[in-house]
């Protein structure tokens, strides 16, 4: 059998495998294009126009984007979510890493129960979780009212202007920490246990193993969950939107950029500018994510 014949046969097999690959990915590709790419393209197209009562929709190019990046309401909302990001991301990832390390070191059935317990908040729909926390935070009906009444004290007003920041940080941390913990725990389980045994023979403590062996070896997973957390926090919407029903004075309609875009579209009928705000936010999320990936590329061991 000649080498030329073998090479041709291999090419035919690879071509057949590629066809089957395209066949199985085609349904996802169609859904991705129809429900993500097409709406994004249309939204960008809409953002290039401005509606006026006299002239109707007028093409204005990138004028809406110039307006967005000089809009004090958008910039204030963006600054607010950046502050949330700087606070929530370290808290979530720190707790997720500690929980993953603790559960990974457990050798009993309690480890499985603990994973389920910490992951359970993520399984609860975000809207339902926000409604539940809205009841807990309620100054009149929440459990804190009864607890503080036992000591003759007034309960803290979590839904006030001064308390809403901590209330939202607590809600999001409760909701997402378990999800990140599971990702990090899965990465820890992939590390060969021979490394731990060698470290113990050299006199390393469990804390040293966790800090100097386990954590560095899951750096790529840490980068991934950090990016997930960054994207989710910068797109902050559901929790403050649901909680706004109980805290109108603390959470205005433009509290975050996503809420501002929703208010522009459905309360003020500014569809074009709403699309611009959404696209501007998406652009900033991409920039933040790319910068973070490049900064952490060497530390996480990710190549170009």
* Predicted local distance difference test score (pLDDT) of residue 30: 92
* Predicted local distance difference test score (pLDDT) of residue 17: 66
* Predicted local distance difference test score (pLDDT) of residue 8: 59
CA pair distance 118, 176, nearest whole angstrom: 9
The bridge status of strand 49-52 relative to strand 56-59 is antiparallel
CA pair distance 6, 112, nearest whole angstrom: 51
* Predicted local distance difference test score (pLDDT) of residue 86: 93
- H-type alpha helices, the chain: 3-32, 38-47, 63-68, 72-105, 110-123, 126-137, 143-149, 164-189, 194-201, 206-209, 215-217, 219-234, 238-243, 257-266, 271-295, 297-300
* Predicted local distance difference test score (pLDDT) of residue 132: 92
Closest CA to 93 of 196, 220, 229: 229
Q: pLDDT digit string (tens) for 144-199?
A: 888 888 888 888 888 899 899 999 999 999 999 999 999 999 999 888 888 888 88
* Predicted local distance difference test score (pLDDT) of residue 249: 86
* Predicted local distance difference test score (pLDDT) of residue 76: 94
Angle at 181 between CA 175 and CA 184, to 5 degrees: 145
The per-residue b/e assignment along 50-74, b for 16 or more CB within 10 angstroms, e otherwise, is beeeeeeeeebeeebbebbeebebb
Long-range contacts of 258-264 (CB under 8 A, 24+ apart): 259/77, 260/73, 260/74, 260/77, 262/237
Q: Other C-beta atoms within 10 Å of 176: how many? A: 23
* Predicted local distance difference test score (pLDDT) of residue 259: 94
pTM summary value:
0.83
What 3-state DSSP class applies to 247?
coil
* Predicted local distance difference test score (pLDDT) of residue 99: 93
What 3-state DSSP class applies to 35?
helix
* Predicted local distance difference test score (pLDDT) of residue 303: 47
Give the pair of three-digit tokens for residue 69. 């990046």
* Predicted local distance difference test score (pLDDT) of residue 179: 93
What 3-state DSSP class applies to 52?
strand
* Predicted local distance difference test score (pLDDT) of residue 304: 44
* Predicted local distance difference test score (pLDDT) of residue 146: 83
CA pair distance 88, 104, nearest whole angstrom: 24
What 3-state DSSP class applies to 58?
strand
* Predicted local distance difference test score (pLDDT) of residue 51: 82
CATH of 68-300, one of 3.40.605.10, 1.10.3720.10, 3.40.50.720, 1.10.10.10: 1.10.3720.10
- Determine contact, residues 251/164, Cβ cutoff 8 Å: yes
DSSP label of 156: P
Q: Residue written as tokens 């070896």?
A: 217
* Predicted local distance difference test score (pLDDT) of residue 292: 83
- Determine contact, residues 259/240, Cβ cutoff 8 Å: yes
Domain boundaries, the chain: 3-47, 68-300
SS (H, E, C) 252-266: CCCCCHHHHHHHHHH
* Predicted local distance difference test score (pLDDT) of residue 4: 53
Please list the ranges in the chain whose pLDDT falls under 70: 1-17, 107-108, 298-304
């Amino acid at each position: 059998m000649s080498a030329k014949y073998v090479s041709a046969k291999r090419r035919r097999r690879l071509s057949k495998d590629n066809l089957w690959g395209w066949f199985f990915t085609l349904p996802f590709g169609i859904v991705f294009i129809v429900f993500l790419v097409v709406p994004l393209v249309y939204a960008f197209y809409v953002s290039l126009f401005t509606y006026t009562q006299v002239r109707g929709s007028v093409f204005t190019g990138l004028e809406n984007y110039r307006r967005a990046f000089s809009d004090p309401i958008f910039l204030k909302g963006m600054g607010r979510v950046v502050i949330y990001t700087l606070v929530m991301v370290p808290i979530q990832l720190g707790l997720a890493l500690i929980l993953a390390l603790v559960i990974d070191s457990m050798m009993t059935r309690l480890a499985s129960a603990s994973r389920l317990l910490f992951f359970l908040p993520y399984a609860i729909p975000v809207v339902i979780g926000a409604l539940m926390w809205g009841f807990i935070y309620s100054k009149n009906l929440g459990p804190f009212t009864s607890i503080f009444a036992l000591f003759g004290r007034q309960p803290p007003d979590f839904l006030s202007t001064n308390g809403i920041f901590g209330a939202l940080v607590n809600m999001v941390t409760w909701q997402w920490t378990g999800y990140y913990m599971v990702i990090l725990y899965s990465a820890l389980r992939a590390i060969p246990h021979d490394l731990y045994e060698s470290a113990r023979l050299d006199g390393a403590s469990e804390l040293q193993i966790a800090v100097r062996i386990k954590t560095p070896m899951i750096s790529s997973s840490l980068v991934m969950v950090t990016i997930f957390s960054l994207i989710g926090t910068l797109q902050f919407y559901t929790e403050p939107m649901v909680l706004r029903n109980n805290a109108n004075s603390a959470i205005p309609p433009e509290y975050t950029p996503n809420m501002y875009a929703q208010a522009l579209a459905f309360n003020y009928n500014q569809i074009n500018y709403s699309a611009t705000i959404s696209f501007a936010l998406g652009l900033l999320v991409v920039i933040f994510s790319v910068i973070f990936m490049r900064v952490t590329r060497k530390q996480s061991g990710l190549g170009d």
